Amino acid sequence: MNSVIKYFTSIFKGIRSLWAGMRVTGKYFVSPGEIVTEQYPENRATLKMAEGFKGEVIMPHDENNQHHCTGCGICELNCPNGSIEIITKRIPNEEGKPERVIDKHIYHLSMCTFCELCIKTCPSHALAWGQDFEHAVYDRTKLTKVLNKPGSTLKKEGALL
Amino acid sequence: MLLEIFSFSTLTANIDKSLHAWMAPWLAVVTELVIIGIVFLLFYAVLGLFLVYLERKVCAIIQNRIGPNRVGKWGLLQTVADFIKLITKELIPIRNADSFLFNLAPFIVIAASFMAMAAIPFAKGLHAIDLNIGIFYIIAVSSLGVVGILIAGWSSNSKYSLIGAMRSGAQIVSYELSVGLSLLAVVVFAGTMQLSAIVESQANGWWIFKGHIPALIAFIIYLIASTAEINRGPFDLAEAESELTAGFHTEYSGIKFAFFFLAEYINMFIVAAIAATMFFGGWMPFHIGHWDAFNRVMDYIPSVVWFFGKTFFIIYLIMWFKWTFPRLRIDQLLNLEWKYLLPLSLMNIVIIAFVVLMGWYFH
Amino acid sequence: MSEEIIKNIIVREDEDYIVNMGPQHPSTHGVLRLEVCLHGEFVNYLIPHIGYIHRGIEKMSESDTYKQIIHLTDRMDYLSAHMNNEAVCLAVENALGIEVPERVKYIRVILDELTRLASHHLWWSAFGMDLGALTTFFYGMRDREKVLAIFEESFGSRLLHSFNIPGGLMHDVHPNFQKHTMEFVRYFRKKLPEYKQLLTDNIIFHNRTKGIGIMPCETAVAFGVTGPSGRGSGFACDVRKVAPYGVYDKIEFKEILHEEGDSFSRYLVRMEEMEESLNILEHVVDQVPEGDYTARMKPIIKLPEGEYFQRVETARGELGVYIVSDGKKYPYRIKFRSPNFSNLFVLNTLAKGGKIADLVAICGSLDLVIPDIDR
């Protein structure tokens, strides 16, 4: 007799536990307000990434097309993957002495692991994170970027950008 | 009677009469068969595509997602697009596979579900064939599908497929019993196996209400056993993707895979349609005993709507199961059948026989 | 005793019915290949084959400075990225004898627990999915998303946030960090009962996991199974208790232990750990002191000659970092004792004699992350 009671209680316990699970899924079925899907390409206009979002490394320029990069190469040294190449050139300054300035700050986005060491170690705070994250391209060479804009010059003094 | 407005029997009779008027009798019969075949094929395809869409939407909402919403309005054409993709895909030949059986298997599966559909009464008078042993025929035919699954598993020369097919064989052979016995409950109540007569017997109330507790038990057993029979979660061991990647149809691609996929959903529809016919009165509107005014109001809703409404309610139940429960293990699956469902349904049959004998049900 | 346990002599025969699970298989969660010998539904033996995602992190670290190593450790056990970072940072800080600011210690603990929660969310999702309950995957991911949103706001990335550096943190956390953490704790306290109703109490789930893959405490010790998997066998191995680091010695928390050693007790340990993590978060989040986010460090870190070892508790067990330094700015040799490597190789002992479906349940309850095994 005991085993018969056990048999039937096991059936009812089983059904009750199953019903508890079905209540959870059933609750979500009748409450479409809980849907969490983001409709990505449609919400592009409203989609704002967080301030420090690591989309890509950029070099902020001010309105006079000036940046802070001195071409010292510390970012290149610190980059663990070799995604940064610094090409400098020497141009004479006002006193006529040749001075080293940045020619091209080449950034290989395809190799970057977003470790933030270049931004962290830059002594003149010339680099920052850009929030653009749509990096899909058909040609890999397009992921190699020159961060300093053409014709840009070094901003000698003044506040941080 | 108002019910007659929505009857399809006049329509079918008219078609029959006009065909006979300008054709030899044998040609008329052949033409009718061809017409029925084409109608069923179209219905089959549309229904399959819609069920796949429905499943994806239901599971999406349960899972806090939106589901398909790109192709067509609310993603309604998504499954059509999927189907076009599937029929244009390459049919990958499998090395060392038994190519005859390998190609035959999807057709057996799809033919089994196609045959079962013939006996289902969709609405008043909308009935391809009204066999006097209708429910028996459906049970017999729908279990043919397992042959296709076994062949698919055996012939595709893949270990995953073979394990899946063997599981499926053990599972379907076992659960056939419970399906049959739980449907027998209603046959005992109605006193007939003819589906149209079973539907007519529910004119004053559906069996799930008239047969009270034993009918309810039979319905629950039927729902569990039939879910297992059509290889759907939580009993989808034959294609348990976390264990066997895709089970018996691992090696299939393109349209052959689509056949298996479609057959699975049509089987779900058939199972739900049988449940609706046997327990919920098929196309019979919701009637309560002698409340004539109420019954007449209910009659204004066409019988097709009743049938599909009930069927889709049960389909939703089956989907609800699938998207809630974890999968059983093969030995637990057989335990459930042989230690729980089968004894319970046997007990239930005895109770029903007693109930019918004493007349302790609403009639 | 322990030698007997470890000795698993596998005799292969020609007629063995071998099924390769992986390297592409839904339940191995990565490129792990299990060579499973079946007898019908039963598993005779299984041999794990690893190395499909070996990237040579240890060797690469030998040519990286200590700051650069951090971003590689992220990519071992990507679900406990923060803890991996912390292990290297603590090792370097201890070697140099640097005392990091209190604020850093507290924030690290909060991040530890948030990472643990996110990792356990993913485990819960995937475990349910392994057993066929596909909806759990989306519920788990939905809640994990909230944690990742906190990470994204503060560190800019969601999964591999190289946020620790030797000496402290990369930058300060977002001003809303504590507020959003508390919001998440309140949100998740409401969602946790649903996890219980959906899976923990489910009879099918009980049948699938109870008494499956029983790992006695001796086996756990012999194989070095740590973390929640080890604690499910009653092996008190929580590094946060055994060798506290950060401010774990100042925080009251329970070490979750279950004695049974089956898949279900490993499941329960993780579920209760989630709750305990919420408790820790609630306790700690208001105590974060103001101050610097990093200690003063030299631009180039050189460890004095010698050997250093540090262990931390990741979401999956004990991660040990062993550094040999010859006084240069690169380590001479660095070795990671990764928890998943030890946890994987107990699989044959647990799954032998069980069914193929049990193998999936055991694999899920061990919560393996394959890149951590191969490194």
Residue C6 lies in a domain: no
Judge contact between C341 and C54, C-beta under 8 A: no
Give the DSSP letter of residue C355.
Answer: B
One-letter identity of residue C372: D
- In which domain, by residue range, is A73 found? 56-152
Tell whether A75 and A148 lie within a shared domain: yes
C306 found inside a domain = yes
Average pLDDT score over residue span B276-305:
77
CATH of the domain at A111: 3.30.70.3270
- The count of structural domains within chain C is 1
**Do B320 and A32 make contact, defined as CB atoms within 8 angstroms?**
no
Alpha carbon of B352: minimum distance to chain A alpha carbons (Å): 19
A60 and A4 in a common domain: no
Residues in CB range of C244: below 8 A, 6 or more apart: none
Structural tokens at position B168: 């499926």
Cα-based angle A99, A100, A103 (whole degrees, multiple of 5): 130
Q: What is the pLDDT at residue C6?
A: 55
Total domain count for chain A? Answer: 2
CA distance C363 to B243: 11
Answer with the residue of higher pLDDT: B220 or A1. Answer: B220
The nearest alpha carbon in chain C to B65 belongs to C138
For C203, which of A17, A50, A121 is closest by C-beta distance? A17
Residue C182 inside a domain? The answer is yes
| A64/A32 same-domain check | no
CA dist., res. A11 & res. C116, Å (int): 37
- Cβ–Cβ gap A21/B62 under 8 Å: no
Q: What's C118's domain CATH number?
A: 1.10.645.10
How far, in Å, are A95, A124, A154, B42, B190 from residue A158 at the CA level? 22, 11, 11, 76, 94
Query: Most C CBs within 10 Å: which of B325, B328, B334, as the mutation test of the C interface?
Result: B325
Whether A66 is in a domain gets the answer yes
Instruction: Say whether both A64 and A140 belong to one domain.
Output: yes
Chain B interface disruption, residue of C41, C124, C360, most B CBs within 10 A? C41
Residue B46 burial class via C-beta count within 10 angstroms: exposed 0-12, middle 13-18, buried 19 and up: exposed
Does residue A158 have a pLDDT over 70?
no
Residue indicated by tokens 């002599």: C9
Chain B CB contacts of C138 under 8 Å are: 63-65
Pairing mode, strands C42-49 and C164-165: unpaired
CB contact under 8 A, A32 and B340: no
Q: What is the pTM of this model?
A: 0.86
Within an 8 Å CB–CB cutoff, is residue C282 touching chain A? no
**What is the Cα–Cα distance from A113 to C243, expressed in whole angstroms?**
32
In a domain, C132, yes or no: yes
**C69 in any annotated domain:** yes
In chain C, what residues touch A12 (CB-CB under 8 Å)? none
How many Cβ atoms from other residues are within 10 Å of residue B287's Cβ? Answer: 20
Residue C142 domain flag: yes
Tell me whether residue A11 is in a domain.
yes
In this structure, are A10 and A78 located in the same domain? no
Search chain B and give the residue with CA nearest C134: B323
CB A118 within 8 A of CB A79: yes
With respect to residue A44, please indicate whether it lies within any of the assigned structural domains. Answer: no
Neighbours of C289 (CB within 10 A): 11
- CA dist., res. C7 & res. B132, Å (int): 67
Contact call for B324 and A32, based on CB within 8 A:
no
Residue-level pLDDT at C3: 58
Taking each helix axis from N to C end, the angle separating B145-155 and B254-279, rounded to the nearest 10 degrees, works out to: 150
Determine contact: C200 vs chain A, CB below 8 A: no
CB-based contact, B324 to chain C, within 8 Å: yes
Residues of B in contact with C200 (CB under 8 A): none
B58: closest chain C residue by CA: C135
Query: What is the rounded average pLDDT of the residues C147-153?
Result: 88
Q: Fill in the DSSP letter of residue B341.
A: I
pLDDT of B341 over the 80 cut = yes
Stretch C20-45: mean pLDDT, rounded? Answer: 82
Instruction: Test A14 with C203 for CB contact under 8 angstroms.
Output: yes
Residue C2 confidence (pLDDT) above 70 = no
Task: Express the helix, strand and coil content of chain B in percent, nearest 5 each.
Answer: 70, 0, 25
Instruction: Indicate whether C16 belongs to any domain.
Output: no
What local confidence, expressed as pLDDT, does residue B2 receive? 45
Contact flag C170-A23 (C-beta cutoff 8 Å)? no
pLDDT confidence of B1, banded at 50, 70, 90? Answer: very low
User: Which chains does chain C touch, 3 or more C-beta pairs < 8 A?
Assistant: A, B
Residue B193 DSSP SS3 = coil
- Smallest CA-to-CA distance from B356 within B222, B219, B181, B212 is with B212
A32 to chain C, closest Cα gap in Å: 14
The residue with greater pLDDT, B317 or C27, is B317
Q: Please name the chains neighbouring A, where neighbouring means 3+ C-beta pairs under 8 angstroms.
A: B, C
Rounded (5°) CA angle B304-B308-B310: 120
The per-residue pLDDT for range B313-322, each reduced to its tens digit, is 899 888 888 8
Which among A68, A57, A70 has a CA at the least distance from the CA of A111? A57
Nearest chain B residue (CA) to A23: B324
Residues A24, A95, single domain; the answer is: no
Quote the ipTM score: 0.81
Question: How high is the pLDDT of residue B7?
Answer: 66
Amino acid letter, residue B291: W
Q: Of B302, B301, B8, B279, which is closest to residue B127 (Cα–Cα)?
A: B8
What is residue C49's three-state secondary structure?
strand
Residues 129-168 of C with CB under 8 A from B: 129-135, 137-139, 142
DSSP-assigned letter for residue C78: G
Neighbours of A143 (CB within 10 A): 17
Q: Which one of A18, A21, A37 has the shortest CB-CB distance to B66?
A: A37
Determine the distance in angstroms separating the CA of C242 from the nearest CA of chain A, rounded to an integer: 31
Whether A161 maps to a domain, the answer reads no
Chain B positions touching C194 (Cβ under 8 A) are none
| Enclosing domain of residue C367 | 55-374
Residue A158 lies in a domain: no
Contact pairs from chain A to chain C, CB under 8 Å: 73
CB C368 within 8 A of CB C351: no
Q: Which among B117, B149, B124 has a CA at the least distance from the CA of B47?
A: B117
B326/C131 touch (CB, cutoff 8 Å), yes or no: yes
CA distance between the termini of chain C = 31
Contact at CB, B61 and A29, closer than 8 angstroms:
yes
pLDDT at B292: 75
C-beta atoms of A80 and C68 within 8 A:
yes
Q: What is the pLDDT of residue A138?
A: 92
**B323 in Cβ contact with B62 (< 8 Å):** yes
* Residue at A120 is within a domain: yes
**Do A97 and A18 lie in a common domain?**
no
In this prediction, residue C8 has a pLDDT band, given cuts at 50, 70 and 90, of low
* Position A49 in a domain: no
Q: Report the pLDDT averaged over residues C331-352.
A: 87
The answer to whether C198 contacts A116, with C-beta atoms less than 8 Å apart, is no
Q: Which residue of A has its CA nearest to B58?
A: A29
Report, as an integer, the average pLDDT of B132-142. 85
- Cα distance between residue C364 and residue C350, in whole Å: 12
Count of alpha carbons within 13 angstroms of residue A34, beta-carbon side = 18
* A20 lies in the same domain as A90: no
Percentage with pLDDT > 90 across chain A: 1
Mean pLDDT of B126-142: 82
C162 chain-A contacts, CB cut-off 8 A: 113-116
pLDDT for the residue numbered A157? 64
Angle at CA of residue C287, ends C283 and C292, nearest 5°: 140
Read off the pLDDT of residues B40-82 as tens digits, 9 standing for 90 and up: 888 888 888 888 898 888 888 888 888 888 888 888 888 888 8
Q: CA C180 to CA C174: how far, in whole Å?
A: 10
Residue A27 has pLDDT above 70, yes or no: yes
Q: How far is B252 from chain A (nearest CA, A)?
A: 32
Angle (CA) B291 B294 B298, round 5°:
130
Q: How far apart are CA B336 and CA B327, in angstroms?
A: 13
Is C8 among the domain residues? Answer: no
pLDDT digits (tens, 9 = 90+) for C267-277: 989 889 888 88
Residues of B in contact with A18 (CB under 8 A): 324-325
CB contact under 8 A, A24 and B324: yes
Distance, in Å, from the CA atom of B231 to the CA atom of B333, rounded to the nearest integer, reads: 12
DSSP state for residue B204 in the 8-state scheme: T
Asked if the structure places residue A108 within a domain, the reply is yes
> Do the chains contact at A25 and C135, CB–CB below 8 Å?
yes
Contact C160 A80 (CB under 8 A): no
Interface contact B320-A35, CB threshold 8 A: no
Span C82-96, pLDDT tens digits: 888 888 888 888 888
Gap from C19 CA to chain B (nearest CA, Å): 7
Q: Shortest CA distance to C79 belongs to which of C112, C127, C34?
A: C112
Look at strands A98-108 and A84-92 and give their pairing: antiparallel
